[in-house]
Structure 1
Amino acid sequence: MLEIISGISVKKVDEGFVLDKGISSHKLMENAALAFCNWFERHYQRNDKVGIFCGHGNNGGDGLAIARMLWRKGYDVIVFLVGENNEPSPDCKLNRELLPDKLPALSMSHEDIAHMEYDLNIVVDALLGVGINRPLEGDYKNLVNKLNSLSGLTKISIDIPTGLPSDDCLAGDAFIADITLSFQSPKFSLLFPEHANYVGQLKVVDIGINQFYLSQFSEGKFYVQKKDIALRHKNFSRFSHKGDFGKVMLVGGSFGSMGAIRMSSEAALRTGSGLACCMVPGCGVDIMQVSLPEAQVWAKKDSDCIDADYLGYNFDRFDAVGVGPGMGTHDTTAEFLRGFLTKYKGPIVVDADGLNILAKHPEQLSLLADRSILTPHLLEFERLAGHCKNHKDRLQKASDFSKKHKVIIVLKGAHTCITFPDGRQFFNSTGNKHMATGGSGDILTGMITSFLGQGYSFENAALCAVFHHGLSGEIASADKKRGTIATDIIKSIPLSYLRLGIE
């Protein structure tokens, strides 16, 4: 897992690493520039015209080193120097001196910024890095706004978009990047939904600093990548039977809202459950039996919603239960949820209307078994925990809520955050905008429930499900883009296992 450390700690990590390895800070900067260039070469042609805008600090030093390396590889590069009147950092100064004489480097004055007209295909932002702690002003503000106004080209930020604070929400202006290439570990603020338009696509490149140096400044926040997931999966043998793969129950649906529980149930099966049973109102039996014959169905005749009469069923025969999708928030349904939480103490996932009932009846929160998994989207979470000023505040409230109620919060979004009662928070790296479609969250409910039923720990079930969910969305939307729908994601769940080399 990649540690997500504060902007203040980034400098300390770099200093500790170079001291321990006996290398110079300039050598580490060269490593970062080389990692950027290796990534850049895989995506852009040498006939692209690249403008690299460099400040006077270490972020500018990164940009100058990148300019030198790309120019030597044959790219058409021009450097724009900003903040010439400021004393450059030592490594920035050295990289200015190392620029080849034939590489064009222009100093930007007030007038140059105001009347800037250059024929560029790619703009690289290396103006200011993680150290910024106040809104942009002066030449930097004017230049950022000028660059933001340019259209028809690709904009890339090095480490963090200029103007964006590393640990807080933006106040003022910031560079609007199409791609942000963050070194070694993503900066905390890059994961905030408020900053999505500034960050663009987030890429993280390794510059050679291992986990040991990052962990010394751990704040309990981690970025989950592909290499972290395979080891968390259970292994099954040719002698495994459907009981080994778990028996799960999905509870939900109501008149006119059967799709949610149907998708949750199929997602559980596609994730690997040996047996999936659906508890639905009587009005949904035919829908479930016809559309998903692999699932068992339990229902009360002539009912339009789940009610307390369903409590007579033996839930203890199941290894995990997911409750809420499409269930509705009727008083009778709320009565069922109260009885269910009192009765069943196995692994539970609560989603959708189950969460809305808890928000309307907060006294039921005390009935949740320890480490129950709650999967709210942003609005559902605010119904539970109260209004949030911004995403940083929301993440803190998620941590407080998780500790108080001893539950696991899966806060769904672009970088779904999984919060554990011990305060740790894990941010997912998979998924894309095309997953913003009705039913996507219901699928995640089925997937988490499935992993719990297969005997995964609460932590591994949540992490694996969220990662596979996002990866399935990426696979499904590869050719469908905006036309992606939830059932496309379900069909891609098996492919997500193949992508990770898991049978």
Structure 2
Amino acid sequence: PQEYQAPPLPRVGKPMILLDGLLGIGAKGMLRREISELCAEINYIRNRCGAVRTVAIDIPTGVDPNTGMPQQNAVEADFTMCIGAVKQGLLDDDATLFAGRLVCIDLPGLHVQAIPATELITSSRLTKFLSARPYTDYKNKRGHIGVIAGSEGMLGAARLCCEAALRAGAGLVTLHVHKNVYPLIAPSMPPEIMVRPVNSYADISIRTFSAFLIGPGIGSVSEEDAEAIRLILETGTPTVLDADGLNLAAAMQWNLGEHILATPHHGEIRRLLPDADNYAIRADIADCFLAEHEAALIYKGARTIVTQRGKPLFYNITGDPGMATAGQGDVLAGICGGFISQGESLLVSAVLGVYLCGRASEMAISVGEATQQTLTAGDTLRHLPAAILSTARLCY
């Protein structure tokens, strides 16, 4: 075939949408040369004009709807508008780069067989968990979460996760830090969050709390602190184990019980599962985790997976590449902990957390307060109320 010749770039004076509807989902075989060249042109314009976004109808041209395998020059979409149902191949790891943000367009009356052993996290599934509170509610009915987070040099992690737990609705939030860190962190914390200085984590009163969040920014801990964390985990109190808490669990070879929600990214799950590199597919790695641990899992990534033993793999559809920045995991852990402290199950809290974090980040960008380049975890946290309102379809 002749080498592709790139066309002149268009003069983009305002945002432009490239609409990919070149082929239907029934197309088979290799792309014809003229179709492949059109796909290459779409990608060329998208990748060189900042004001351009590509929207694919049903599936990006050049991506197999069953396997997710992309052909050469397959369209790299920012959004894929899935009509009636998401095609199975779009949840494959190979398709993620090309499908972008999945948007589900329901067709009333159309009955579509579910994708085997997988589910999508969509707003319609979550509305019932964000219903109005009883009018007689008070803070103690909304739970008290104990947080172990932050150390010298990583104080921001503690603030982000604590404030996120509060924003997710926890009635009371208490942060525990070592006494040498207390003068540094206490003045910077929101006034609604209680900060308790401790000589070691063994000083924490376990019975006080309905849930724990352990790990963000704690760094390397002493043997005494590690033993205290192990004892907390053994009480059976619902716990979000995140970041350095996961690294500690991996180093100590702890088995994570069914009352724990683990929130690893790929690097952390490799430490928990030495055999993870034997699996090329994220879904297989998630299954491997469930075989080793009873804990619920948030496997963070471009299409975050949430699961638990005996449950499907839930794939999140919200989020934006701008979330690839420090602190987003701290916000996610705090939101999950906030819901758990109020009595929600680990799985429901995890599904709510990943969806709302992604949605809040999208909203920060859509209203012009951030871009993919400038989005911060603080932006995500500030737009959490709007994300909850939009997901719950509430108005006040």
TM-score (norm 1): 0.67
Q: Map 1:252-263; keep pairs closer than 5 Å.
A: 252-263=149-160
Cα separation, 1, equivalents of 2:35 and 2:363: 40
Alignment check: 8 A CA contact 2:7 2:41 kept: no
Superposition deviation, residue 143 in structure 1: 5.3
1:451/1:130 CA distance change after superposition, 3 Å: farther
Superposition deviation, residue 449 in structure 1: 0.8
User: Which of 102, 114, 128 is the aligned partner of 1:202?
Assistant: 102
Higher helix residue share: 1
Alignment check: 8 A CA contact 2:176 2:198 kept: no
User: Which of 315, 323, 337 is the aligned partner of 1:449?
Assistant: 337
Q: Which of structures 1 and 2 has the larger relative contact order (alpha carbons within 8 angstroms, sep 6+)? A: 2
Q: Which residue of 2 aligns with 1:29?
A: none
Aligned pair 1:126/2:22, yes or no? yes
- Amino acid paired to 1:384: L
Q: Which residue of 2 aligns with 1:177?
A: 77
Q: Map 1:280-359; keep pairs closer than 5 Å.
A: 280-292=177-189, 293-301=191-199, 309-332=200-223, 333-342=225-234, 344-359=235-250
User: Which of 61, 64, 72 is the aligned partner of 1:162?
Assistant: 61
Name the larger-Rg structure. Answer: 1
Alignment check: 8 A CA contact 2:20 2:60 kept: no
1:262-292 deviation digits (Å, cap 9, x = unpaired): 2111111111111101111223212332122
Q: Secondary structure at the match of 1:269?
A: helix
Q: Map 1:97-496; keep pairs closer than 5 Å.
A: 122=18, 124-127=20-23, 129=25, 132=28, 141=36, 144-145=39-40, 148-149=43-44, 155-168=54-67, 170=69, 172-173=71-72, 174-192=74-92, 194-210=94-110, 213-215=111-113, 217-233=114-130, 235-292=132-189, 293-301=191-199, 309-332=200-223, 333-342=225-234, 344-362=235-253, 364-365=254-255, 368-385=256-273, 386-388=275-277, 393-477=281-365, 478=367, 479-481=369-371, 482-496=373-387
Cα separation, 2, equivalents of 1:369 and 1:496: 31
Superposition deviation, residue 454 in structure 1: 0.7
Cα separation, 2, equivalents of 1:114 and 1:258: 51
Cα separation, 2, equivalents of 1:146 and 1:471: 30
Cα separation, 2, equivalents of 1:371 and 1:266: 23
TM-score (norm 2): 0.83
Alignment check: 8 A CA contact 1:126 1:157 kept: no
- Amino acid paired to 1:282: K
Alignment check: 8 A CA contact 1:316 1:346 kept: no
Greater alpha carbon shift after TM alignment, 259-268 vs 279-288? 279-288
Superposition deviation, residue 128 in structure 1: 5.4
Alignment check: 8 A CA contact 1:275 1:295 kept: yes
Superposition deviation, residue 421 in structure 1: 0.8
1:250/1:144 CA distance change after superposition, 3 Å: same
Cα separation, 1, equivalents of 2:4 and 2:196: 70
1:463/1:146 CA distance change after superposition, 3 Å: closer
Q: Secondary structure at the match of 1:283?
A: coil
Superposition deviation, residue 429 in structure 1: 2.5
Superposition deviation, residue 317 in structure 1: 1.6
Alignment check: 8 A CA contact 1:157 1:180 kept: yes
1:142/1:380 CA distance change after superposition, 3 Å: same
Alignment check: 8 A CA contact 1:264 1:443 kept: yes
Q: Map 1:16-55; keep pairs closer than 5 Å.
A: none
Alignment check: 8 A CA contact 2:158 2:216 kept: yes
Superposition deviation, residue 415 in structure 1: 2.7
Cα separation, 2, equivalents of 1:468 and 1:123: 27
Q: Secondary structure at the match of 1:325?
A: coil
Cα separation, 2, equivalents of 1:234 and 1:143: 47
1:423/1:114 CA distance change after superposition, 3 Å: same
Q: Which residue of 2 aligns with 1:13?
A: none
Alignment check: 8 A CA contact 2:237 2:259 kept: no
Cα separation, 2, equivalents of 1:359 and 1:156: 41
Superposition deviation, residue 248 in structure 1: 0.4
Alignment check: 8 A CA contact 2:70 2:94 kept: no
Alignment check: 8 A CA contact 2:161 2:331 kept: yes
Superposition deviation, residue 409 in structure 1: 0.7
Superposition deviation, residue 230 in structure 1: 1.5
The percentage of aligned residue pairs carrying the same residue is: 27
Gaps of 5+ in 2: 11-15
Gaps of 5+ in 1: 1-109, 302-308
**RMSD, aligned CA:** 3.1
Q: Secondary structure at the match of 2:142?
A: coil
Cα separation, 2, equivalents of 1:117 and 1:497: 44
Q: Aligned pairs, how many?
A: 377
Cα separation, 1, equivalents of 2:8 and 2:244: 54
Superposition deviation, residue 406 in structure 1: 1.6
- Amino acid paired to 1:486: A
Cα separation, 2, equivalents of 1:234 and 1:147: 42
Cα separation, 1, equivalents of 2:312 and 2:27: 25
Alignment check: 8 A CA contact 1:125 1:155 kept: no
1:298-345 deviation digits (Å, cap 9, x = unpaired): 2225xxxxxxx4224221220000100001134534444333323x21
